[in-house]
Structure 1
Amino acid sequence: RFQDTKEKLVEETIEDENLIVDEEEKGSPISVQDSESQVKKLEEKVKQLEAEIADYVDTLKRVQAQFENYKKRIKKEFDTFTQISTHKLVKQLLPVLDNLERALSSAESTDDKGKIIEGVKLIYHQFKEALEKEGLKTIDPAGDRFDPYFHEAIMQVESDEHEDNTVVEVFQKGYLINDHLLRPAIVKVSSYPIR
């Protein structure tokens, strides 16, 4: 808007000057009073436009300040949200930590490996459940068709038992969090034998 106002002022000034020149060329006399009157009008117009420009600049500065405050507020809200999310996850994992401590204490005082294994399995399921509540999904593709978006093949084996590009072994499970890939599954893939 500032640029438009400036261009408008320049155009009006040129038009006014052209009027004066045209009148001079026509031979019509221009009195000093008429000239002074036109100069005063132009000066008033310039003052008016300068006031508009100052108003636009002031508005622009206020909008910039509001935007900076908005950015700061959004960052603060995001940081708070992140802290709350982290707090929530850690709170869900505290029982797992407690049970691990109990299992370690129990392992030192007992020779019954069956109870230790049973306790570790319970802790594993508790830990997995806490992560699943946060949106974690396991990628365990044994027997599935190889998908390069979710699997990373580190070995290939010739096989008559499996179709070509079938996952025959999973070395490390992959994970999705809220349907976004967190880690691909590390797999061995079949291929038809070369004859």
Structure 2
Amino acid sequence: NGTRIKCICKRLLLFSLSFAFSTAAQQRSTGDDCGPEDPPDEPRHLLNENSLELKATKLEEQVRVLTERYQRALTDSENVRRRTQKFVEDAKIFGIQSFCRDLVEVADILEKTTESTTGGEHDDPTLTLKKICEGLSLIESKLQSIFVKHGLQKMNPIGGKYDPYDHEIVCHVPAEEMQPGTVALVTLDGYKLHGRTIRHAHVGVAVESHE
């Protein structure tokens, strides 16, 4: 991260400065051992100091560049996080948009059925009842087709073996022509969404009669 980069750069700068000062000190120590007739080493010291200043300037520039890069990367990462969060929120809100659009068609059928059965006072009751039955049948068929389209499937456990992961026993039924432990009746339909049980079927399980 950016803090580690700054620490590394500072350590490099301190190491370079320490090495340069150590070299300069050795050079001064060597100069002290020389006789009085040895020439002074001042120009070389000035050159070393200028070189150290140049190195320090370069290191500071590298630190600045790395810091800017880190800040830009941090900003980009935050922007990506915000966009991803917005996408997830939208998916939660509008994830059932297609399902809701299909359910609107069921609402339309229900509304038309209601309108057709509340016409006049002298309507034939038999004809009215027939219209209601036809409307309800159409609604049930349309709902099941919508469920299948969206991966929602009604269980059909009658005759199958009882499964505690899919079924909930509400009663026991004497086993006449069915094997004990199989589902004999369903009091409440169960449903699976893409293979996962979202509502257990309430069933009656066949058991041996003890007469």
Which TM-score applies when normalising by structure 1? Answer: 0.71
Highest Rg: 1 or 2? 2
Question: In structure 1, what is the Cα distance between the partners aligned to 2:202 and 2:11?
Answer: 66
Instruction: From the superposition, tell whether residues 5 and 168 of structure 1 become closer, same or farther in structure 2 (CA, over 3 Å).
Output: farther
| Amino acid paired to 1:29 | G
SS at match of 1:142: coil
Q: Please list every run of at least 4 consecutive aligned residues from structure 1 whose deviation after the TM superposition is greater than 6 angstroms.
A: 191-194
Question: In structure 1, what is the Cα distance between the partners aligned to 2:26 and 2:208?
Answer: 94
8 A Cα contact 1:156 1:191, kept in partner:
no
Matched residue, 2:70? 60
Matched residue, 1:141? 157
Among all aligned residue pairs of Structure 1 and Structure 2, give the percentage whose two residues are the same amino acid: 23
Shift of 1:21: 5.3
RMSD (Å) for aligned C-alpha atoms = 3.6
1:153 aligns with 2:168: yes
Matched residue, 1:28? 30
8 A Cα contact 2:155 2:190, kept in partner:
yes
SS at match of 1:143: coil
**Matched residues, number:** 190
Q: 2:57 aligns with which of 47, 64, 73?
A: 47
8 A Cα contact 1:170 1:185, kept in partner:
yes
Instruction: From the superposition, tell whether residues 154 and 19 of structure 1 become closer, same or farther in structure 2 (CA, over 3 Å).
Output: farther
SS at match of 2:147: helix
Shift of 1:58: 1.1
Shift of 1:130: 2.0
Matched residue, 2:137? 121
> Which is further off, 122-131 or 98-107?
98-107
8 A Cα contact 2:162 2:205, kept in partner:
yes
Question: In structure 1, what is the Cα distance between the partners aligned to 2:10 and 2:208?
Answer: 76
Matched residue, 1:12? 16
8 A Cα contact 1:153 1:189, kept in partner:
no
8 A Cα contact 2:158 2:186, kept in partner:
yes
Shift of 1:123: 0.9
Matched residue, 2:192? 176
